[in-house]
Structure 1
Amino acid sequence: MNDVRVAAIASLTPLEELDSAPFLVDTRGQRDACARWADERGYVLARELLFYGIRPDHDELWADVESGEVDLFVAANERVLARALTSVPDFRAECARRGVRLETAGVEGTGYDAASRAAVHRRLSMPTAGYDGG
């Protein structure tokens, strides 16, 4: 089978921005949006890349492409790309140069109401098993 293998780009965003931009802080929500996008097209989500301000030519971005494990990149939206990368235009140019597609799932995360924000807060503050506080 010739599956298209997708790398989902999610942005790491400071927690201080949770109330003003909860979707940018919610990496799980970003990943889920990318997974749905890939699934709707019959693609396989092969990688999840979590970055904040990475250079478009950084080796970590391209390792899976160069090894043949990833065929295209997807991010939930342009705002996620803008947080994850130092330059979206330069990344688009690098993708074009390397012949790798870059897509966005078109999910803006605007449906975040108080309950959704609270759910993200809960996920981010879940206790770690075995953590003794010290």
Structure 2
Amino acid sequence: MADSTHTTAGAPRAALIAGLTPLERLDADPFLVDTRTQYAVCHRWAARRGYRVTSELLVNGARPDHRGLWADVEEGNADLFVVAGRRALECAVSSAEGFIAECERRGVRVETAQFQEPAYDAATKARIHRRLSMPTAGYDGC
């Protein structure tokens, strides 16, 4: 979904990609489970460069040519992809190199935010677990 707080008329349009990782991997790899932080990193990166976020894609192991990845580009709604980091890209698509090659073939940039992943303590992991395990109970993570 587009985030209207990060829009600038006429700015290049960015589709954000977060890698979807099962909640069971929270202790082993909290950043990849924490898609909210992945998106936040991408939003900050885009805002600093004047890009308008037009969509957020949440995927796991998608083929580099998967229609869902390319729909916004093909419809003229995205000019580039932004992903929090290489590890998130490797989670999101079945082949990071294949996706990068597909982007080059189609003339679409893919950018990684390149930042230091946050540290996750037990309390942070518990909040992520609660948010992700109780979505139908109306919990919104606040």
TM-score by length of 2: 0.85
Matched, 1:31 2:44: no
Matches within 5 A, 1:95-110: 95-110=103-118
1:17 aligns with 2:25: yes
Q: How does 1:63-102 map to 2 (within 5 A)?
A: 63-102=71-110
The separation in 2 between residues aligned to 1:62 and 1:111, in whole angstroms, is 32
Alpha-carbon distance in 2 for matches of 1:44, 1:87: 26
CA–CA separation in structure 1 for the residues paired with 2:68 and 2:22: 21
Say what the alpha-carbon RMSD is for the aligned residues: 1.5
Fraction of identical pairs, as percent: 59
The answer to whether the 8 A contact 1:52-1:84 is kept is yes
Q: Please, which of 92, 111, 126 is the counterpart of residue 119 of structure 2?
A: 111
| Cα distance, 1:2 vs structure 2 | 2.3
Residue segments in structure 1 that go unaligned for 5+ positions in a row: none
Q: Output the CA distance in 2 between the equivalents of 1:30 and 1:66.
A: 24
TM normalised by structure 1 equals 0.90
1:108 offset after TM fit, Å? 4.3
Contact 2:23 2:132 in 1 (8 A): no
Question: Which consecutive residues of structure 2, in runs of 5 or more, have no partner in the other structure?
Answer: 1-8
